[in-house]
Structure 1
C-alpha cells in the first residue's frame, strides 16, 4: 500500500512550522532557477550546497520539534533519525545536507537536522478517483481558456494510485498533477511509525 505524506500549509495537520532565513531568501532571488520547484518536487536536479540554506530560525519558541516538518521557505527538514531511515531504505537516492535550527533567544535546537531534496519521481495518481481541484485560470486567447490546472484537494488528501506501477523507491514525488505529491511505501511508513518519530502525517492511498 502507498501512503501520501500530507505536506500542506492549508491543512492544519500538514506539518508546517513557521521558520525562515532572510539571508537565504535574498539569495534565492539571485539564482537562475526556481529552487522551490526543486525542493517541492516539480523539477528534479541535484542542488549545489552553495544554493541551499545552512540554517533556519524558528518564528515561535518550541520545546521540541517533530522529526519531519516543512519550513516557511518551502524546504522539508528532517531529524537525524528520520534521515537514517531514508538512507537505509533508499541508499544514495536522495540529497540531504546538515542544517542548524535556531531559536531567537534560546540558541540552536539540540540534535542534528538535515534539509531534504527528494530525487525519485513517478506518476501513479489516478486523477479520476482522487480528490483534486481544477483551476480554470491560465492563459486566455480571445476570452477562451487555453489551459486548466489540476491540484490536490488539501483538506481531503484522498488520492487513488495505480499500485501496478513499479516505482522502485520508498520515497518519491508524484508528478501526475500540476502540483507534486510526496508519497512513500509501506516499508517507509512502518519504519517511521515503529521508530516512534513525529512526522508530517501519513494518509493511506486508495488502490
Structure 2
C-alpha cells in the first residue's frame, strides 16, 4: 500500500510558526565572500535570488544541500508542547524527530539527507527532543492519471493535484506499484498534492512506535 501526506494549511504541531536563525545571513556571507563574480552574475548579483534557489533545493530534485545551505536553527514564535514526528518549516523544509529518522534510515540507508536542526522557543530555550532537517532524496514518476479519478491538472501543464484531500479523494488516485516497489519515502515529480508518499512498511513502523504523524491517506497502487 501507498500513503500520501496531507500537507498542513495552517500553523500547528505539524507546521509550527517560526523562522530560521542565521540562515539568511549564512547564505549572504557565502554569496559575498565565497562565490566568484561569474557565479554571482548568474543570480544578477543579488543574494536574495541565490537564497531563493537554495530554498528550492528543500523540496525539488536539485541535489543535496551544501553545509552553508542547511538551516541549523528554527526559532518558534510561541511555545509548542508537543510537535509531531514529521514537521514542515518555512519554505516547506521537512524536519523529523530522532525516532522517525531512525525508521527512515533503517528502511532506506543513505538515500535521504539528514542534519541536526535546533528547534528553539521564543526566548531561545531548546525544544526538549532533538530534530533533524530532512531533504528527501528520492523522486519518482509513479502517478497514473489515466487510471485515476478526482484530480485536476492545469491546461498544457504536466502537473496534477487531488481535488479532495480526504480519505475518499486520495483513494481515487493511482500509482504504479512497479515504479514504487521497494521505495519507502519519496516525492512525486508531477503529482503536487499529495507530493510526499510513504510505504506501508514505513507507516507500520510509525504506528508501532506510536509516533505523532501528520494526516495521511491511502492511495491505490496497481
TM-score, L = length of structure 2: 0.76
Aligned partner of 1:38 among 54, 57, 72:
57
What root-mean-square deviation, in Å, do the aligned CA atoms of Structure 1 and Structure 2 show?
A: 2.7
Structure 1 pair 46/135, CA: closer, same or farther in 2 (3 Å)? same
- Unaligned runs of 5+ residues in structure 1 are 137-146
Among candidates 65, 75, 78, match of residue 47 of structure 1: 65
Counterparts of 2:126 and 2:161 in 1: how far apart (Å)? 35
For residue 36 of structure 1, report the CA deviation from its aligned partner.
3.2
Deviation at 1:122, TM superposition (A): 1.1
What is the rounded CA distance, in whole Å, between the counterparts of 1:92 and 1:127 in structure 2? 31
In 1, Cα distance between the equivalents of 2:143 and 2:68? Answer: 34
- Once the two structures are superposed, residues 25-59 of structure 1 have per-residue CA deviations (whole angstroms, 9 ceiling, x without a partner) of 4638263762333222x324111111010010112
Residue 152 of structure 1: aligned partner = 161
Structure 1 stretch 113-122 or stretch 13-22: which is displaced more?
13-22
Greater CA drift, 127-136 or 78-87:
127-136
**Cα pair 1:122 1:172 within 8 Å, conserved:** yes
1:68 aligns with 2:77: no
3-state SS in 1 of match to 2:197: strand
Give the greater-gyration-radius structure (CA).
2
Alignment of 1:76-95 (within 5 A): 76-95=94-113
Aligned pairs, how many? 195
1:29 aligns with 2:48: yes
Q: Which runs of 5+ in 2 are unaligned?
A: 28-46
Measured in 1, the distance between the counterparts of 2:80 and 2:163 equals 26
Does the 8 Å contact 1:3/1:204 carry over to 2? yes
Tell me the distance in 1 between the aligned counterparts of 2:19 and 2:139.
27
Q: Say if 2:18 is the partner of 1:19.
A: yes
Question: In 1, are the aligned partners of 2:8 and 2:15 still within 8 Å (CA)?
Answer: yes
Q: How does 1:78-157 map to 2 (within 5 A)?
A: 78-105=96-123, 107-128=125-146, 129-136=148-155, 147-148=156-157, 150-153=159-162, 155-156=164-165
Is residue 162–residue 193 contact of structure 2 (8 Å, CA) maintained in 1?
no
Q: 1:133 to 1:34 in 2, by over 3 A?
A: farther
Report what 1:140 is aligned to.
Answer: none
Q: 1 CA distance for matches of 2:124 and 2:75?
A: 11
Which residue number corresponds to residue 6 of structure 1? 6
